[in-house]
Every structure is written in C-alpha cells, then in structure tokens.
Amino acid sequence: MSLAPLAPAARRQSRVLVCCYFSYFAVLAVTVPYLAVYLDAIGFSSREIGELVAIITACRIFGPPLWATLADRSGRCLPYIRMGAVAGSLLLLSLMFSHSYWWIALSMGLLSVFWSAILPQMEVLSLATLNEHSELYPKIRVGGSLGFIAAVLVIGELLALTGVERFPLYAAAMAALLVICVCALYEPQRNFKITTEAHSGSIWKRVKRLQFVAFLLSTTLLQASFAPFYAFFALYLTHLGYAPFAVGLLIALGVAAEIFMFLVAGRVVARYGVRNMLLICMLLTALRWALLSQLATVFWWLLIIQGLHAFSFALHHAAAIRFIHTYFPSAEHSRGQSLYVGFGFGAGGALGAWIAGLVWQQQEGASVAFMGAALFALCGAALTLLMRADSPTKSGQQRRQL
C-alpha cells in the first residue's frame, strides 16, 4: 500500500527544519573546529584546552535528560528548542567579557546545558512532522551539513582576516540566525499510543536490555574517539603548516561527504540493517584515525581521511536515529534521544577530550592521541556485535510501515 503524500503544512515545516538544521550546525561549524584555535590564541595550554572541552562536553550529560523529560511529560518540544537557541546566543556573546579560565568554563558549560535542549528535540520534531515518511529524515538533516560547510569556509576566512578574538561574535551571530528560524516552527501532533508488545512497560526496562546497552556504550566509545579530532584538528593542521583556507576546505570536504551519505543513508540502512551499518562505520572510523595519526602531512591522504566522515558520522548517525526511533515508543522518543546525546556525545566526548588534552602535549602527542582514538573505535565496533542483528528484509518492511 502506498503512503499518503506529506500534507502541505508538513512540507512547509520540513523546509523550515532544513533552515533550522542549517543554522544549528553553522554554530557548530564555528565552535567545534575553531574553539581550540581561539583558546590557543588567548593563551591557554593544550592541557587547559582539553580540560575546558571536557567540561563543556560533560555538561551535555545532564542537559538532555532534563529537557527530554520535560518535553515528553508536556508533549511539546518547541519551547525547549527556542529556549536553547536564545540562551545559546547570549552565552556565546558573554565570552567577549572575559578571558579567564573559569569565566569561559562557566559560560561554555551553561551553553552546553542549554544548547543540549535543541538537537534531540529537533530530531523528535522532525520525525513527528514526517510521521510515516521517516525515511525522508536524512534529506532534512542534510541542511545541517550544508550549514556546516558554508560557515566553516566563511568563518575560517573571517577569523584569518579579522583575528581569532572575534570568534565569540561570529558564533553568536550564527546562534541568532537559529533563533529566527525556530520561531517559524509549529508543534506537530505526536502519536503517543503504544502499539506493540515490545513497546510496553517502563522505559528503564528497555534501557537495561543488552541491545540498548551495547548500542549506548558503542556510541560513547565512538564519540570518545572523535574527541582529538573535534578539539584539535584545526589546530593540528595549522601547526603542520596548512593555510586557514586549506583547513576550512578539508573540514568542509568531510561535511560534503556527509551530505552525500545523508541523501542515501535512509535507503542504505533500510536495505542492510542497523547493526551491520553501525559495525562498518565503527571499523572505518578506526581506520580514519589511524591514517590521520600517520599521514596528516600528506594533503592527498587528508582528502581520503575526510571522505571517511561520510561513514564515521553521517551513516552512523542515520542508523542510530533509526534504531532509537524503532526501539522506543513515541512517548519516549525524547528520552531515548537524550540518552543517545547525553551519554554518547556527552560522556564519550568528555572522556575523550580529557584524555586527548593530557596526551596532546602542545602537538607532540598528536599521533598517540589519534591512535588511541582508533583503539576506542575498534572497541566500539566489538560492542556492536552484541546487538541483535536486524535482517535487511525486516528493515525494508519497517521502512514501508514507518
């Protein structure tokens, strides 16, 4: 039986959501690659940068469960998305007032808590808007990749021309754009009816199952492996002698590969199964960090390394979102997303950033840091084997039902 087309209101909302993802990830395009460059420019050591990134990332553990619980209990996501966007723009501006360690730690920690209200709820809002057309989610999410590319290229050049000290101003401007976009959203109706036996009972019964524990620990290790890349990649390439435009271009290349993958990820995951795709992505991520550890001085190898971002982030994320959407009932989607973001991105990213900061040693430990990241990704791959395999046929049937 063919699915009914998207309603006009849902089509309009989908276009607005593309803009929301665009502006949300434009903020990340400023903060993720250039925060370490900014902190280095205002006098922080690699250990202090690692500590600050760890503090910022650890705060993501506490924010998502709080906002998700409030969103699930109220049945509304939009107020928390808007709150996070407004708070984010103000807290980014606050970085202009002081360069002290604790001021930056406090401002960025609070930013992390409030900013964590946005993406999990926006994912739920997107899937609620699409309803049975959830396979179209990657085409909305690709807006984030486009925003990241545009911002990383433009802001990288602006920082080179006007000075890295302008970093907070540019980041706040991107957050203000997000505020404008989220004001155009509406709250779609969500179906909270539990329809299957697998979706009955307390959320904690589902959380404690081996299937989900293996997924969550695997995701945590993946994000820990990303920490040296997120915290130091732009600084790493700058120290190796790459020009600012080349650094921005390489970061943009990874996101361009991500865009391509998002366009086909829905079909790929449905055809080959969630667990298979998670395993392949983890293995290719381990390869990516190992290559980066040894071959970063060769520009052509960097092109291949960044091309692997299509798997280490885009395909893995699409498979993870699909797993959460089918594993949890709709009344628990926000909390399921919060566990994925809070423990995976928060705990994993914080652990990885702290270790990377200790190992980095003003660039001398870069190779060791990335080889350690490869080991984390390999351990994460091993954990995915504990997940129950979903056959391609079953995935295809689920795709037709969603």
Q: What is the DSSP string of 236-280?
A: HHHHTT--HHHHHHHHHHHHHHHHHHHHHHHHHHHHH-HHHHHHH
Q: How many Å separate Cα 57 from the centre of its chain?
A: 12
Residue 197 lies in a domain: no
In angstroms, the Cα distances linking 321 to 45, 74, 171, 282, 324 are 36, 22, 27, 16, 5
Only one residue has tokens 């056959």, namely 391
Least confident of 9-18, 39-48, 393-402: 393-402
Q: Is the pLDDT of residue 360 over 50?
A: yes
pLDDT in tens, 248-302: 889 889 888 888 888 888 889 888 889 999 999 999 999 999 999 999 999 999 9
Q: Would residue 274 count as lying in a domain? A: yes
Residue 395 has a pLDDT of 39
The dihedral through the CA atoms of 10, 13, 19, 24 has a sign that is negative
What pLDDT digit, counting tens, does each position of 120-173 carry? 889 888 888 887 776 778 788 888 888 988 898 888 888 888 988 899 999 999
Mean pLDDT for 83-109 is: 93
Number of domains present in the structure of the chain: 1
What pLDDT does residue 142 have?
A: 83
Question: Is 334 part of a structural domain of the chain?
Answer: yes
Any domain includes 148: yes
DSSP 195: -
pLDDT at residue 342 above 90?
no
Within a 10 A sphere around the Cβ of 297, how many other Cβ atoms? 11
At a CB cut-off of 8 Å and minimum separation 6, what does 324 contact? 333, 336, 337, 340
Mean pLDDT score of the chain, rounded to an integer? 85
Say what the pLDDT of residue 182 is.
Answer: 94
pLDDT at 195: 42
Lowest mean pLDDT among 231-245, 263-277, 335-349: 335-349
CATH code for position 106: 1.20.1250.20
> What string of DSSP letters covers 202-227?
-HHHHHTSHHHHHHHHHHHHHHHHHH
| Alpha carbon separation from 339 to 66, 119, 345, 353, 383 (Å, rounded) | 11, 12, 9, 19, 17
- The whole-number average pLDDT for the span 60-65 is 76
Select the highest-mean-pLDDT range: 81-85, 264-268, 356-360: 81-85
Residue 209's pLDDT is: 87
Res 397: pLDDT: 44
Residue 198 maps to a domain: no
Any domain includes 195 = no
5 lies in some domain: no
Q: What is the pLDDT of residue 400?
A: 36
Half-sphere exposure (Cβ direction) of 223: Cα atoms closer than 13 Å: 24
67 pLDDT higher than 70: yes
**pLDDT grade, residue 191 (50/70/90)?**
low
pLDDT value for 391: 55
Percent of all residues in the chain with a pLDDT value above 70, rounded to a whole number: 92
Q: Of 210, 203, 139, 177, which is closest to residue 387 (Cα–Cα)?
A: 210
Report the predicted TM-score, pTM, of the whole model to 2 decimal places: 0.71
Structure tokens belonging to residue 312: 């280490």
Q: Match 């057309």 to its residue by tokens.
A: 133
| pLDDT tens digit sequence for 39-54 | 988 989 888 988 888 8
Is residue 254 within 8 Å of 306, Cβ to Cβ?
A: yes
Tell me the percentage of the chain whose pLDDT exceeds 90. Answer: 37
User: Is there a contact between 303 and 261 (Cβ–Cβ < 8 Å)?
Assistant: no
Residue 283's pLDDT is: 97
- What is the residue range of 31's domain? 11-188+203-401
Asked whether residue 6 is domain-assigned, the answer is no
**CB 342: neighbour CB atoms within 10 A?**
24
